[in-house]
Amino acid sequence: MSVFDDFVRRDKRALARIITHIENRRENYRQLLAAVSRLPHQGYRIGITGPPGSGKSTLVDALVLRYIQQGLRVGVIAIDPSSPFTGGALLGDRIRMQHLVNRDSVFIRSMASRGESGGLAAATRDVTKVLDAFGMDLIIIETVGIGQIELDIVEACDSVVVVLVPESGDMIQTMKAGLMEIADIFCVNKIDRPGADRLLSILNSMVHERQTASSVEIRAVGTNGMNGEGVDSLAEAIEKHRGVITTGGELERRRGSQLKAEIVHAVRDRVVRQLEETIDFDGQFEHVSRQLASGELDLYSAADMIYDRYFRK
């Protein structure tokens, strides 16, 4: 496997080709992934998420520039949505990462979400491993914070930054479930805009209320990705979070539960695929569907029948 040898020699073209191979689940991708996973790796994963247009890519640009100036090697995975209708995607995160082009110590890969059933979470995890094995000190995963799949992805990171803007909403928005619950660090970007100080203070008080004795402290910082204001504080907050979870044993605990979740996901994916392919193994699925349509059966009785036949076969 010459491409693999090139990969070990840290050839970026080989890295790029291996990512394609794994992302597309081509023949032998599992052996390739297993070989990659056996290489030494010790990267730290940072997730950056938030609503569209909040300035995530611009912040990643500023943040990564700082990291490479410190001599670190950084991999970036930038995820944008695929069209559910055509399967096409416009991946535009690179436009905002112009400082990172042509740098030896940076590798940026744009990925399209390829639909909910496209296995984005698994593919992202695999690509993260590949970047890690390539010798990246930091792996940054940037994705829009909408939808369960995207949340799963960033949740699997070691430190999660949720980026908001002054227009993101009022106090009630910050109390809603989901996006706001996965943050290790809140970042109010476009801090020069009206309302930014207010959002920052709302977040600070929310974070304060949420703090329990056992939990790791959450921070809120203000930034201006365009001129770099506050990016040092953001980097510092990430570093602090990393320090706390690394020394307190939290990192190992997190990674342990992530690994369990990965196994569950992998098994679930297989079960779902098998179920979809063979649900009509004895022709009863069609029959029951007709009974449901005609009103002879209700949905849950129909489901009971199929479930019993399928899992007791």
Partner 1 sequence: MSDKIRILLAKAGLDGHDRGIKVIAAAFRDAGFEVIYTGLRQTPEMIVDAALQEDVDAVGVSILSGAHMTLFPAIRKLMEERNCADMILFGGGIMSEDEITELGRKGVSKLYGPGTSTIEIVEYIKGAVAKKRAGEKLV
Binding site for partner 1 (CB under 8 A): 1, 3-4, 12-13, 16-21, 24, 26-28, 32, 82-83, 86-92, 94-95, 98, 101-102, 107-110, 112, 114
**Minimum CB–partner distance for residue 82 and partner 1 (Å):** 8
Q: How far is CA 278 from the centre of its chain?
A: 31
Mapping DSSP to helix (H, G, I), strand (E, B) and coil, where does residue 58 land?
A: helix
**Minimum CB–partner distance for residue 107 and partner 1 (Å):** 6
Instruction: State the amino acid at position 41 in one-letter form.
Output: H
In the bound state with partner 1, the residue whose beta carbon lies nearer, of 92 and 243, is 92
In the bound state with partner 1, the residue whose beta carbon lies nearer, of 127 and 162, is 127
Instruction: State the amino acid at position 290 in one-letter form.
Output: R
In the bound state with partner 1, the residue whose beta carbon lies nearer, of 32 and 288, is 32
In the bound state with partner 1, the residue whose beta carbon lies nearer, of 111 and 231, is 111
Tokens at 53, concatenated: 């247009």
**Which residues are 47's β-sheet partners?**
141, 160
In the bound state with partner 1, the residue whose beta carbon lies nearer, of 144 and 261, is 144
**Minimum CB–partner distance for residue 67 and partner 1 (Å):** 17
| Rounded-to-integer distance, Cα 23 and Cα 77, Å | 12
For 39, other C-beta atoms within 10 Å of its C-beta total 15
**Minimum CB–partner distance for residue 77 and partner 1 (Å):** 11
**Minimum CB–partner distance for residue 66 and partner 1 (Å):** 20
**Minimum CB–partner distance for residue 87 and partner 1 (Å):** 4
In the bound state with partner 1, the residue whose beta carbon lies nearer, of 26 and 260, is 26
For 304, other C-beta atoms within 10 Å of its C-beta total 13
| Rounded-to-integer distance, Cα 288 and Cα 119, Å | 30
Tokens 């227009």 appear where?
167
Q: How many CA atoms lie within 13 A of 74 on its CB side?
A: 25
Mapping DSSP to helix (H, G, I), strand (E, B) and coil, where does residue 240 land?
A: helix
Q: Are strands 106-112 and 44-50 parallel, antiparallel or unpaired?
A: unpaired
What's the Cα-to-Cα distance from 109 to each of 22, 74, 78, 199, rounded to whole Å? Answer: 13, 11, 6, 32
8 Å CB contact between 164 and 51: yes
In the bound state with partner 1, the residue whose beta carbon lies nearer, of 32 and 185, is 32
Greatest Cα pair distance in the chain: 69
In the bound state with partner 1, the residue whose beta carbon lies nearer, of 65 and 292, is 65
Mapping DSSP to helix (H, G, I), strand (E, B) and coil, where does residue 186 land?
A: strand
**Minimum CB–partner distance for residue 283 and partner 1 (Å):** 27
**Minimum CB–partner distance for residue 24 and partner 1 (Å):** 4
